[in-house]
Amino acid sequence: MADTNDYAATFDLVDSDDDQRISAGELHRLMEVLGSPITEEQSVEAVRGIDGDGDGLISLAEFTAYMRAAGS
């Protein structure tokens, strides 16, 4: 069951500094941990793709919307 709480738990794991936003740097570290390292440029682009309001950071609402759209 993939509800908002599951997304929030995942979000918290990725948000290593607990500022309630996922930065490109945090995404970069996550992909390294997952064993699929990406370049800093790719992580900035990935954040840009998920970022709905253009502040360069991913909020929980933006993350949830993205995960729902991805169907996972």
Which residues would be at the binding site for Ca ion (CB under 5 A)?
Answer: 15, 17, 19, 21, 51, 53, 55
Smallest gap, in angstroms, from Cβ of residue 1 to Ca ion? Answer: 26
Smallest gap, in angstroms, from Cβ of residue 5 to Ca ion? Answer: 19
Question: Which residue's structure tokens are 């253009």?
Answer: 54
CA 40 – CA 62 distance, rounded (Å): 20
Residue number with CB closer to Ca ion (16 or 42): 16
- In angstroms, the Cα distances linking 37 to 2, 24, 28, 60, 61 are 25, 13, 7, 23, 25
Residue number with CB closer to Ca ion (19 or 41): 19
